[in-house]
Structure 1
C-alpha cells in the first residue's frame, strides 16, 4: 500500500482557501440571518419591531462581530491580503459601539437608530462576505464585484451619521440619569 492521497481541498495549498471559504460562509450566514430576521420582523410588526431589535438579534450580532476579530489575525498572519489598520479601525469602532455603548445602556437600545445601524452594518457585511467567499473559490460576478467596491461609499457616511445620532442619544440619556441621581424624585405618600 502506498501513501494515501488526500482530497484536493485537504492538500496544503487548498487548506487556506477551504478555511477562508468556511469562515466567510459562517459570517455570511450570520449576517444574512440577522438581516432576514430584521426584515421579516419589520414586515410582520411594523415600527414596533424596531424598538426591540437589540433584544431579538443582539446576541447573534455580538457573536458575528466577535468572530470578525479573527480577520485581524488573518491579515497579521498573511492568510488575507487586506490592510491591517483600516480593518482594525473598523472592527474597533464596531466592537466599542456594540459591546461598550449599546449593550451597557438599556434606555438607548430601544431607539430606532440601533435598528438602522444594524441594517447598514449587515448590508455591508452580507455583500462583502459573499464577494470574499466567492473570490476564494475563483468565482467572480461583475454585479457583485461592483456592489462590493461601491456600496460602502453611500453607506459608510450614513453609518457615521447613525453612530453620531446614537452617541447623542447615549449622552443625553446618561446626563439625564446623572441628574436624576443628584436630584432624586420623591414620591408623595397619601
Structure 2
C-alpha cells in the first residue's frame, strides 16, 4: 500500500508541477496574452489530474489514506464540477482570465500538498514543506473560493443562451441548468468553509505538537 500511495502522490506531483511550471513560463513569456489559451495548453493534463484525485475518495474508506472523508469529498467534487461541468463544457468560459487564476491557485496548493503527502507516506519530514502545507491554505483557499464563485457566475449567461445541460423531460418537467448553478453558488462557500475549518484544526494540532517539541528540547 505504501508503494502504491507513493507512486500515486508522485504522479500527481509531477502532473501539477508540469501545469504550474507551464502556466508560469507562459505568463512570463507572453504576459496577458497567455490567458486566452491557457485551457488549451494545460486543460488535458488538468483534467487527468483531477480525475485521478477522485481515487482519493476510494483511498480513505479502503484504509489506504488516513484522512477525513467529508473534507476530501467536498474539495474533490467542487473541482470536478467546476472543471468539467462549468469550464470544459463552455468554450467561451475557457478563455477568460479567471480560469487562468483559478488553475494557478489550485496548482499552487497541490504542488505543496502532494510532495508533503509523498514524504509523509515514506516517513520523511521536511520542516519547511510541512509548515507550508499547514499554512499556505490560509490565503489560497479563500482566494480559490472567490475565483470559483466568479467562474460559475461568469458562465451563467452562456448556459442561459446556449441551453447546455438544460432539458425538457416527459410530463412537462424541465431541468434548467442555470438554476442548478445558482443553487450551487450558495452551497459552494459552505463546502469551502467546511474544508478550511478542517485544515484549521489540523494546523492547531500541528502547532501544538511543535510547541511540545520545543518544550522537550
Q: Same fold (TM over 0.5)?
A: yes
In 1: Cα distance, 2:89 partner to 2:151 partner: 13
Aligned to 1:110: 95
Deviation string, structure 1 residues 64-103 (Cα, Å, up to 9, x no partner) = 0001111111101001010111101110000000011101
Deviation string, structure 1 residues 141-177 (Cα, Å, up to 9, x no partner) = 1111110011111111101100111111101333455
Which one of the candidate residues 143, 146, 152 is aligned to 1:161? Answer: 146
Give RMSD over aligned pairs: 1.1
Matched, 1:85 2:74: no
In 2: Cα distance, 1:62 partner to 1:78 partner: 26
Unpaired runs of at least 5, structure 2: 164-217
Q: Report SS of the residue matched to 2:35.
A: helix
**Greater RCO, CA 8 A, separation 6+:** 1
Structure-2-length-normalised TM-score: 0.73
In 1: Cα distance, 2:107 partner to 2:11 partner: 13
Aligned to 1:64: 49
Matched, 1:125 2:110: yes
Structure-1-length-normalised TM-score: 0.83
Max Rg structure:
1
Unpaired runs of at least 5, structure 1: 1-15, 179-190
Count of matched residue pairs? 163
